[in-house]
Amino acid sequence: MIMFCENCGKQLNEGAKFCLACGTAVEAEPAQPAPPPVQPPPPQQQYAPPPVQPPPQQYAPPPVQPPPQQQQYAPPTQQQYAPPPQQYAPPPQQYAPPPQQQYAPPPKKGLSKNMLLIIIIAAAAVAVVLILVNVLGGQEEPVAEEPPVEVEVTLEDTEEENTVEEDIESVIEPVVEPGGPYDEVASFNEGMARVKLGDNWGYIDTSGAEVIPAIYYDARDFSDGLAPVMQDNKYCFIDKAGNVVIPLKYDNAGRFVDGIALVLLDDMWGYIDRDGNEVIPFIFEKAYSFSEGFAGLIQDGKYGFMDTEGNTAIPPQYDDFYAFSEGRAGVMLGDKWGFVNSMGEEIVSIMYEEVSNFKEGCARVKLDGKWGMIDLDGNTVAPPHYDQLRNISEGLIPVCVDEKWGFVNDSNMEVIPLMYEDAGFFKDGLGWVKLNGKFGFIDKTNTEIIPRQFEGISMFVEGVAQARLTSTWGYIDHTGEIVIDMIYDETDYFNEGFARVRLGEKWGFVDLTGKEIVPVS
């Protein structure tokens, strides 16, 4: 029979004593301590004007006229060439040459010998005219200089070119080289997932890229932006860029919860903040992570609770305990369990053989070998006469009598008859059931929504459910359609849009479209 975590609903491995996802003990195991350590050249085609400079703008030529044939000269049509707009054109306020001086030479290539001869003759005629003008005109005035050719390459042209290059770069997405496959992986947390390669751990991001190399002997999940990692038998804390922000010196370390992390130093437990400052002294033989503002502690073999300032909130007097959940903590005296509130007041009598954490305002309790359910004040929700009973989900409780499963509501009214071989949690309005060896989904009226055809199933998480038809697993949607092929030897629930999957001995990740962001082969 498939087993699920009673707290988070995740599937449990066979024989597991704790949930790998949330750490909740299986079948009310006692709470466990923190885990053990483990610019370009001018274009060639542009024309450079001849060395003979034109007269100044203000100059009026004398009455002496040049030879008629020279004045009537008009260059051939091919000589009316004007450079394209992007090439040099003298600005209007500068030298405006006479008609004869508007000549622009044709391209150097493709000129015939006759055409070249005509050009030479025309240039000589112009030179003669200019000499006569200068001689007869008297004193020579300074000639305005033409701007350098380089101004043809404008700032606007350069900026436009750069803009195009930037646009191209913005369209081309960087190629991400995914890591993996890996020997072991953990679910995503705060956009990072732990991955193991050989004997060492590292981290990948949601693109599948290995952003922190696998160089640590042990690594824990990120929380509050930091993660504890182990090197040289000591723990430190790193950020998501792999920088060490709290030095390597601790013998053990847990995750940050509400800005406080549990750490071990010289065989004593204490607590630090995100700057590495000691906020609760290292004086405890054993201590636990905070939950709802309280952490378990042990002194002289007895368990109690302290607040976030290290003050004892509930004196050590119990033989075991559960962390606070919905304002209640399970405590054990002798071999019996009950519940206390944050003031240490006994809200539920210490009389039960087993209990679970509270969920949706209800907790499972076992009395005289039978299971029932109580509310936060200890009132009976379902009397203890069921052989088995799972946590409440969406207002319905899976119960079992004589190996037949059905559902009751929080008023202990039977909503779905006890007719199934197995039944599990409701999520998104659908609950899984098993009949005649096959799994499917029903709604809260016991109407079959996804036919019973699967060999294995899980509840829906992030819109998909794990399922298998033969020996391999994949994912289905709310209509029962296969959305991720059933090709994997092992799958897990989706978390932050990704799920870990195994094929053979290697692990990778898939997204909700079925794309392997970390290949498994």
Q: How far apart are CA 431 and CA 397, in angstroms?
A: 11
Q: How far apart are CA 516 and CA 506, in angstroms?
A: 13
Q: How far apart are CA 116 and CA 470, in angstroms?
A: 89
Question: Per mean pLDDT, which range of 119-123, 273-277, 446-450, 477-481 is the poorest?
Answer: 119-123
| pLDDT surpassing 80 at residue 274 | yes
Positive or negative torsion for Cα 267, 273, 278, 282:
negative
Q: Which SS3 state, helix, strand or coil, does residue 438 take?
A: strand
Provide the strand spans (E) within 138-285. Answer: 184-185, 192-197, 200-205, 210-216, 218-219, 227-231, 234-238, 244-250, 252-257, 260-265, 268-272, 278-284
Residue 27 pLDDT: 56
| pLDDT surpassing 60 at residue 145 | no
Residue 152 pLDDT: 40
Residue 15 pLDDT: 64
Residue 138 pLDDT: 45
pLDDT tens per residue, range 210-243 = 999 999 999 999 999 999 999 999 999 999 999 9
Q: Which SS3 state, helix, strand or coil, does residue 201 take?
A: strand
Q: Which of 345, 346, 382, 349 is nearest to 363 (CA)?
A: 382
Q: In this structure, what token pair is assigned to residue 195?
A: 């991955």
Positive or negative torsion for Cα 514, 504, 459, 445:
positive
Q: In this structure, what token pair is assigned to residue 122?
A: 């025309």
For residue 401, the 8-state DSSP code is E
Q: Give me the chain's average pLDDT, please.
A: 80
With 0-12 CB in 10 A as exposed, 13-18 as middle and 19+ as buried, what is 173?
exposed
Any bridge partners for residue 76, and if so which?
none
Contact between 186 and 192 (Cβ < 8 Å): no
Q: How far is CA 83 from CA 77, 90, 223, in A?
A: 15, 11, 67
Residue 126 pLDDT: 63
More confident residue, 44 or 186: 186
pLDDT tens per residue, range 458-473 = 999 999 999 999 999 9
Dihedral angle over CA of 87, 91, 92, 96, nearest 10: -80
Query: In sequence order, what DSSP letters do the residues of 169-183 get, joined into one string?
Result: HHHSPPPP-----BS
Q: How far apart are CA 466 and CA 378, in angstroms?
A: 35
Q: In this structure, what token pair is assigned to residue 19?
A: 């949930």
pLDDT tens per residue, range 350-392 = 999 999 999 999 999 999 999 999 999 999 999 999 999 999 9
Contact between 55 and 130 (Cβ < 8 Å): yes
Residue type for 284, please?
F
Q: Which of 421, 397, 400, 401 is nearest to 411 (CA)?
A: 397
Average pLDDT, stretch 141-156? 39
Q: How far apart are CA 103 and CA 388, in angstroms?
A: 104
| pLDDT surpassing 70 at residue 292 | yes
Give the chain's count of helices (H) and strands (E). 3, 42
Contact between 486 and 472 (Cβ < 8 Å): yes
The residue assigned the tokens 């995750």 is 255
Q: In this structure, what token pair is assigned to residue 41?
A: 């050249």
Report CA Rg, the chain: 42
Q: Judging by DSSP bridges, how do beta strands 252-257 and 260-265 pair with one another?
A: antiparallel
Q: Indicate the pLDDT class of residue 300, thresholds 50, 70 and 90.
A: confident
Q: Which of 379, 377, 412 is nearest to 389 (CA)?
A: 412
Cα end-to-end span (Å), the chain? 30
Query: In sequence order, what DSSP letters do the residues of 123-148 get, joined into one string?
Result: HHHHHHHHHHHHHHH-SPPPPPPPPP
Contact between 339 and 331 (Cβ < 8 Å): yes
Q: How far is CA 75 from CA 72, 90, 106, 194, 429, in A?
A: 10, 21, 11, 81, 91
Residue 60 pLDDT: 41
Residue 179 pLDDT: 73
Show me where the domains of the chain are located.
Answer: 1-29, 70-81+96-140
Q: Tell me the pTM.
A: 0.67
Residue 83 pLDDT: 43
Q: Which of 357, 367, 284, 282 is nearest to 323 (CA)?
A: 357
Question: Per mean pLDDT, which range of 53-57, 290-294, 475-479 is the poorest?
Answer: 53-57
| pLDDT surpassing 70 at residue 455 | yes
For residue 495, the 8-state DSSP code is B
Residue type for 91, please?
P
Q: Which SS3 state, helix, strand or coil, does residue 514 take?
A: coil
